[in-house]
A = this chain, B = another copy of it.
Amino acid sequence: MEGFKVLEIKKSVFENNDREADILRQQLKKDKVFLLNLMSSPGSGKTTTLRRTIEALKDEFRIGVMEADIDSDVDAATIEKTGVKVIQLHTGGMCHLDAGMTKQGLDGMGVEDVDFAILENVGNLVCPAEFDTGSVKNAMILSVPEGHDKPLKYPLMFSICDVLLINKIDVLPYFDFDVEECKKYVKKLNPNMKVIPISARTGEGIEEWADWLRTEIKAWNEG
């Protein structure tokens, strides 16, 4: 029997999601909680990347993870093994989380003992891009097997994220993925986006990613 909590998320009752997201961010600022919204396609390595991120930062920050999924618990079970606080959020078929749903998750998890909260959003490059969750920063993962043309096809997702992790660079030799071409597409859409190539499997690039997070969390708490 797993020890984590499972929360069935309800549809938000708020009409103005942008306003709710801003209110949530103000509350997080007051509570000194940095919320990261992590998005990607299914299978790009979100959960493995998260495990690596937790390993790199769990001695510096009190981490809490919200695993959003349509109705399974497999990711929360994986994250629980790292020893950090974790809650499974079931969206009941819904393809994204908005700010009201994220707030339900944060309330369900409890942030009184958390400095760094991470939302693993539903695996989808389309819908989650349209809803501000109230997060402080948005990160996305694109993995090498998905192809370097994805910024052309999912421009909104690449536009609203602060950082792009190009994952699975250990299999670059077996795929036609052009990292420089990908960066070019990304910079056209979003000149300020930070791009970090990583391999969640081997650990390559994780230190640069952890450094980016350290800087951002510090800025949020001091700013």
CB neighbours (8 Å) of A174 from chain B are 171, 174
CB neighbours (8 Å) of A150 from chain B are 42-43
A127 at the interface (CB under 8 A from B): yes
CB neighbours (8 Å) of A41 from chain B are 41-43, 123, 146
User: In the complex the two chains form, is B95's CB within 8 Å of A147's CB?
Assistant: no
User: In the complex the two chains form, is A126's CB within 8 Å of B130's CB?
Assistant: no
CB neighbours (8 Å) of A156 from chain B are 70, 93
User: In the complex the two chains form, is B70's CB within 8 Å of A152's CB?
Assistant: no
CB neighbours (8 Å) of A122 from chain B are 126
A75 to chain B, nearest CB (A): 8
Contact pick for A125, options B123, B147, B155, B168, CB 8 Å = B123
CB neighbours (8 Å) of A146 from chain B are 41-44, 145
Question: Which residues in chain A, 17-74, are within 8 Å of chain B measured between CB atoms?
Answer: 41-44, 69-72, 74
Interface size on A, residues (CB 8 A): 34
- What are 28 A-B residue pairs whose CB atoms fall within 8 Å in the complex? A41-B42, A41-B123, A42-B125, A42-B150, A42-B153, A42-B154, A43-B145, A70-B153, A70-B154, A70-B155, A70-B156, A72-B155, A74-B152, A74-B153, A93-B126, A93-B130, A95-B126, A124-B124, A124-B125, A126-B127, A127-B127, A143-B145, A145-B145, A145-B168, A145-B171, A171-B171, A171-B175, A174-B174
**Which A residues are closer than 8 A to B by beta carbons?**
41-44, 69-72, 74, 93, 95, 122-127, 130, 143-147, 149-150, 152-156, 168, 171, 174-175
